[in-house]
Structure 1
């Protein structure tokens, strides 16, 4: 699967970069130095991570949601087209999700950005769009919510934290990546398969009762 390939490449480069300052500095996202001849930073920052916890969390998440979305794309669009479109979703989400950061920090010579979370967010929200009533939760927290509700809460919290800033987490990349994942998938399915995902999303939610919205425990 392409998901395994993405994970493999990301893990390999991230681990090598942990012990190689030159690689880290060359490929990390630095808005003030991203321009002619260095546009590659819009992509390469996504294969770098701050530490093992950062790397493991992103790749663990991509493993679970990426595999499902890759399979869905292949089922709906055909193997070859599905693989290409899934890869496009992930790769294009990298520069798109970091754009707000670029415009905000392009004159800040001290800013550094890294991590695949913007692209991973795009994949997660493609999943939420297609499977809004599947239950999602956070590891070790025994509360599960329908995917659409989990995603809504995630976005609201991300917006609030982004306004506060600080914390070393690029919440704007999560927000932008999430919205891009939805837009990309909606347009893709409509254009190539004549499937109205927005309509299906609304229908899946409407046929469930309020009592189905919360479930506690594993």
Structure 2
């Protein structure tokens, strides 16, 4: 029952409400972790305890919080094992909620009721603000595609329109038009091309933006666009367009974050990202009209620049 409640609570707080997962030295070996999310004056932390050990476990967490300079409001989920919950004096910055032997919660206050409610209120303004760069890049790509579609007189973009407005053309790059290594990432060949790329940008860009920040995400995207264009220039003679190289760079960034970033909640994504990457690379190499070297160049660029950012900013996960 305890494991079921913990699993359901983690699903709610991590998947639906964006909490992160960390470890601490709990007095209870199987409950040595906590969930947390930033709030106005620090963090809201959720720990788990069994009845009779909740005070000691709270003290252990508070010691962890002090050592790591984490100001926290603590919610302690206490498993009663069928015993009655004791009456306690309210402590500042602390709430307890109890779980009976059937897995039902009781003893809520306003804080625990809000934290554990499944009707999470989504602030749309904050959502847009948290993915501002991703949203801006999507709008820019769609506007450029719309412009080229108008110039082409249809949804399939005329190759001469693509060349005129910045496609990767090796001969023109050799002649000194190096900007095409970057501008080609904002052009698309047809409606499905831009549709799939914008879906991928939405799915991956907001993850990178959330964990790396707006400007770093923009730097990763831009650098990957150029490295994708560069490898395409070196190994693909055909005219090439599309945001895929930059998007593969975001995939590379997420791989690095899941392996080396401080936030352990990203670790669960590693296997899924590898599967997505393998499927896309396999699809690219089994199709004749996909710029595989542009994808690989973007992937390598995303990995390299993200490693550099984490190293420069001491963002590697601490051991322990």
TM-score, normalization by structure 1: 0.70
- Name the structure 2 match of 1:77: none
The alpha carbon displacement at 1:112 in A equals 0.7
- Equivalent residues in 2 for 1:19-30 (5 A)? 19-20=150-151, 21=158, 23-26=161-164, 27-30=166-169
1:133 is matched with which residue: 265, 268, 275?
268
Number of residue pairs matched by the alignment: 173
8 Å CA contact retained: 2:168, 2:184: yes
Distance 1:58 1:191, change over 3 A: same
Q: Cα deviation per residue 1:59-101 (whole Å; 9 max; x = unaligned)?
A: 1111111011111112xxxxxxxx2221111111112112222
- Name the structure 2 match of 1:88: 219
CA distance in 2, matches of 1:30, 1:172: 15
Distance 1:29 1:156, change over 3 A: closer
The alpha carbon displacement at 1:171 in A equals 1.1
- Equivalent residues in 2 for 1:34-53 (5 A)? 34-53=173-192
**Structure label with greater radius of gyration:** 2
8 Å CA contact retained: 2:186, 2:242: yes
2:312 is matched with which residue: 191, 197, 203?
191
Query: Which ranges of 4 or more aligned residues in structure 1 deviate by more than 3 Å?
Result: none
Which has the higher relative contact order, 1 or 2, with Cα contacts under 8 A spaced 6 or more apart?
1
CA distance in 2, matches of 1:151, 1:128: 11
The alpha carbon displacement at 1:127 in A equals 1.7
2:295 is matched with which residue: 174, 177, 181?
174
Q: Give structure 1 stretches of 5+ with no counterpart.
A: 75-82, 136-145, 204-218
CA distance in 1, matches of 2:218, 2:240: 22
Q: Cα deviation per residue 1:22-46 (whole Å; 9 max; x = unaligned)?
A: 6422111101111455211111111
3-state SS, counterpart of residue 210 of structure 2 = helix
CA distance in 1, matches of 2:250, 2:148: 25
8 Å CA contact retained: 1:18, 1:24: no
Tell me how large the CA RMSD over aligned residues is. Answer: 2.6
- Name the structure 2 match of 1:13: 144
8 Å CA contact retained: 1:125, 1:151: no
